Amino acid sequence: MGKTEKILLLRHAHAAWARPGMRDFDRPLDARGVADAGLIGKAMAMAELQPDIVLCSPARRCVQTCDIVAGALPEPADVSWIEALYSSSHDFYLQLLLEQVAATVLLIGHNPMMEDTARALTRTAEAWPARRLQKGYPTAGVAIIDMSTLTDQTPYGGHLSEFLTPKRLKKQQEGKHRR
């Protein structure tokens, strides 16, 4: 891996079910997905998680997630639309990430590839993010993986430092409003 220090793995936000005749690829975000993507974008901005590059599936729900999240960030990032993120395995996701040289990379894609990629990239984890990942990868969830410990001998030795989820962020907001 080049000099990538941080990988942000964002599963697209919640999407509507396909209508008759609609391809899965064309499924849009529903109202919950739009709200959740906005919440995640704001949380990323507050945590100063500014990607240098965004690698994104061109599926409609991923494009919409990307637009909403990127719109909440203080600076624009270069976006690469990568068709293979829609249907390839997590091996493709891993290889794509290993080819990057940007300091902070945001990948927006699909499950189960997201979950498998997060598991493959992490050797260590903080307690809560590890427990959350064991439960599955929710829509609009973003795993934050510190890759500064990687070497050529240990290409998958990252540290899962945080796992932002809309549900957890909403609970945190509710707690602040009750005080």
Identity (one letter) of the amino acid at 124?
A: T
> Does residue 56 fall inside a structural domain?
yes
Domain count, the chain: 1
Bigger pLDDT: 158 or 8? Answer: 8
* pTM for this entry: 0.92
CATH number, position 167: 3.40.50.1240
> Does residue 80 fall inside a structural domain?
no
> Does residue 1 fall inside a structural domain?
no
Beta-strand relationship, 158-164 and 104-109: unpaired
What is the average pLDDT across 22-35?
96
Percent of the chain with pLDDT over 70: 93
Query: What's the pLDDT score for residue 60?
Result: 98
pLDDT > 70? residue 154: no
Residue recorded with tokens 């993986």 = 145
For the stretch 100-151, pLDDT in tens is 989 999 999 999 999 999 999 998 889 989 999 999 999 999 999 998 755 5
Q: Are 170 and 135 in contact (CB under 8 A)?
A: no
Query: What's the pLDDT score for residue 1?
Result: 43
> Does residue 11 fall inside a structural domain?
yes
DSSP-based three-state secondary structure for 1? coil
pLDDT > 60? residue 169: yes
Give 127-135's long-range contacts (Cβ < 8 A, gap of 24+).
Answer: 128/163, 129/160, 129/161, 129/162, 129/163, 130/160, 132/163, 132/165, 132/168, 133/160, 133/163
Structural domain of residue 127, as residue ranges? 6-74+85-178
> Does residue 107 fall inside a structural domain?
yes
Query: What's the pLDDT score for residue 27?
Result: 96
Q: What is the overall mean pLDDT for the chain?
A: 91
> Does residue 20 fall inside a structural domain?
yes
> Does residue 79 fall inside a structural domain?
no
Which residues make Cβ contacts (< 8 Å) with residue 88, sequence separation at least 6?
113
> Does residue 64 fall inside a structural domain?
yes
